[in-house]
């Protein structure tokens, strides 16, 4: 593990007390080595609710106040996508280990600045790309590492979401410039493809987008792209977050095909293997709920009657606990902090590179041009 001494215990700050921050806080309270927990949200009433539930040691609506606590050695950043920069910067100044929900930032310049600070301070910083902790993808990665299908020649990937995520993210962002299907949700699929492909860099990108649903909001519906890598692997990406809210997939469905010189691997991750149809309403989308003097987004339980079970990528509740890859991912991070173990987490560097490629795809779609990608992805800054 880079940049940190091993710990005998964990003092943890959780900044952002929405659904994801709440789930990770619950896991933190379960983990024996987490001896101190402080929680923070701009909505103090929301933070107090979570603090009461997990018996937190400290609660505030001021990130700088929490991050000044001497008990801390690690931080989870679970704010909304556009609010990462300040708390991440403050945590870096304290030399705290970081777990950051994706993306590092939605603006390239801010993402680059944060990564440079992380590298300069030699901080171990990982990002929340939960799909890497699902068994099917871990197994496929192992097969590729062991050269089971020879050298990769091409990857095709399709991702589909109902529009619940788009509506949620767009509703809480004032600036929709980079709030696109690729940057916000397609990044998960791209991260998976890049992780499976191994060491390679994009060389050229061509893309197109549609905007019949979210064009008025300044965003896109669907983006398709072809990416050529420096080792001649071709990647085809087709990602949409505009399926109607009654589409049975809770959140994310993917199909990934890998073709090598000695074989193929097909991954069907559309979640049609466990289907529930009921007269009772099933959760889908988000609705506003007042907590204190502010509105927060909570899951809407009155949207549909059919559900692809297990299609929420981070997991689902059973017997009052959250189960699934978010549990594996969070506990694995604690294990990483305590033992220095190598884990499958996406690094901050990989997260920054994911953002760079997503933004380049969006630029190619906007201009209709073939984009030449510089050897150093940071040189893309002048493009944006």
Q: Would the pLDDT of 303 be above 80?
A: no
152 or 304, greater pLDDT: 152
Does 116 lie in the same domain as 166? Answer: no
Question: What is the predicted pLDDT for the residue at 172?
Answer: 83
In tens, the pLDDT along 336-350 reads 999 999 999 999 999
Does 118 lie in the same domain as 37? Answer: yes
Q: Is residue 294 part of a domain?
A: no
Rounded mean pLDDT of 141-170?
94
Does 338 lie in the same domain as 227? Answer: no
Closest residue by Cα to residue 272 from 309, 247, 325:
309
Does 140 lie in the same domain as 194? Answer: yes
In tens, the pLDDT along 204-242 reads 999 999 999 999 999 999 999 999 999 999 999 999 999
The predicted model scores a pTM of: 0.91
Do 45 and 66 meet the contact criterion of CB atoms below 8 Å apart?
Answer: no
In tens, the pLDDT along 250-287 reads 778 999 999 999 999 999 999 999 999 999 887 765 55
Does 374 lie in the same domain as 337? Answer: no
CATH number of the domain to which 146 belongs: 3.30.360.10
Does 75 lie in the same domain as 31? Answer: yes
Do 351 and 129 meet the contact criterion of CB atoms below 8 Å apart?
Answer: yes
Do 284 and 303 meet the contact criterion of CB atoms below 8 Å apart?
Answer: yes
Do 179 and 170 meet the contact criterion of CB atoms below 8 Å apart?
Answer: yes
Does 94 lie in the same domain as 202? Answer: no
Does 170 lie in the same domain as 120? Answer: no
Rounded mean pLDDT of 146-167?
94
CATH number of the domain to which 28 belongs: 3.40.50.720
Q: Is residue 309 part of a domain?
A: no
Distances from the Cα of 383 to the Cα of 181, 364, 372, 378, angstroms? 19, 10, 11, 10
Question: What is the predicted pLDDT for the residue at 1?
Answer: 47
Does 138 lie in the same domain as 127? Answer: no
Question: What is the predicted pLDDT for the residue at 246?
Answer: 84
Does 260 lie in the same domain as 122? Answer: no
Question: E strand or H helix at 360, and its extent?
Answer: helix 348-367
Q: Is residue 284 part of a domain?
A: no
Question: What is the predicted pLDDT for the residue at 2?
Answer: 44
Distance in angstroms (rounded) separating the CA atoms of residues 231 and 223: 24
Does 109 lie in the same domain as 15? Answer: yes
Q: Is residue 1 part of a domain?
A: no
Question: What is the predicted pLDDT for the residue at 3?
Answer: 44
Question: What is the predicted pLDDT for the residue at 317?
Answer: 79
Q: Is residue 292 part of a domain?
A: no
Do 202 and 228 meet the contact criterion of CB atoms below 8 Å apart?
Answer: yes
Q: Is residue 70 part of a domain?
A: yes
Q: Is residue 305 part of a domain?
A: no
Domain that includes residue 243, residue range = 133-272+353-383
Q: Is residue 89 part of a domain?
A: yes
Does 267 lie in the same domain as 125? Answer: no
Do 92 and 104 meet the contact criterion of CB atoms below 8 Å apart?
Answer: no
Q: How many structural domains compose the chain?
A: 2
Question: What is the predicted pLDDT for the residue at 342?
Answer: 94
Q: Please, which pLDDT band fits residue 292 given cuts at 50, 70 and 90?
A: low
Q: Tally the C-alpha atoms within 13 A of residue 70's C-alpha that lie toward its C-beta.
A: 0
């Amino acid at each position: 593990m880079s940049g940190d001494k091993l710990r005998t215990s964990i003092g943890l700050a959780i900044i952002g007390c929405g659904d994801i921050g709440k789930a990770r806080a619950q896991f933190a309270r379960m983990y024996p080595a987490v001896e101190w927990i402080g929680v923070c949200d701009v909505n103090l009433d929301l933070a107090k609710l979570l603090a009461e539930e997990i018996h937190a040691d400290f609660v505030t609506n001021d990130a700088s106040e929490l991050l000044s606590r001497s008990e801390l050695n690690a931080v989870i950043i679970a704010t909304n996508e556009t609010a990462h920069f300040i708390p991440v910067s403050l945590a870096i100044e304290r030399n705290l280990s970081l777990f950051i929900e994706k993306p590092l930032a939605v603006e390239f310049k801010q993402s680059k600045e944060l990564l440079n600070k992380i590298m300069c301070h030699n901080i171990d910083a990982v990002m929340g790309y939960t799909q890497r902790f699902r068994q099917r993808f871990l197994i496929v990665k192992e097969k590729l590492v062991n050269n089971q299908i020879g050298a990769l020649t091409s990857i095709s990937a399709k991702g589909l979401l109902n529009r619940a995520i788009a509506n949620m993210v767009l509703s809480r962002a004032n600036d929709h410039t980079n709030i696109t299907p690729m940057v916000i949700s397609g990044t998960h699929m791209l991260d998976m493809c890049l992780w499976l492909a191994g060491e390679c860099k994009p060389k050229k990108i061509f893309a197109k987008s549609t905007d019949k649903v979210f064009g008025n909001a300044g965003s896109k519906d669907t983006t398709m792209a072809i990416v050529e890598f420096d080792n001649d692997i071709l990647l085809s990406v087709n990602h949409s977050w505009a399926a109607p809210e009654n589409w049975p997939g809770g959140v994310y469905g993917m199909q990934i095909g890998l073709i090598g010189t000695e074989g193929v691997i097909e991954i069907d991750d559309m979640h049609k293997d466990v289907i529930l149809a009921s007269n009772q309403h099933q959760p889908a989308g988000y609705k506003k709920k007042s907590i204190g003097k502010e509105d927060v987004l909570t899951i809407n339980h009155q949207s549909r009657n059919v559900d692809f079970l297990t299609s929420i990528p981070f997991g689902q509740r059973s017997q009052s606990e959250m189960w699934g890859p978010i549990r594996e991912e969070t506990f694995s991070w604690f294990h990483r902090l305590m033992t220095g173990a190598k884990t499958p987490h996406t690094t901050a560097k990989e997260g920054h590179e994911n953002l760079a490629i997503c933004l380049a795809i969006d630029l190619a779609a906007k201009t209709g041009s073939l984009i030449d990608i510089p050897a150093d992805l940071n040189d893309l800054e002048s493009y944006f």
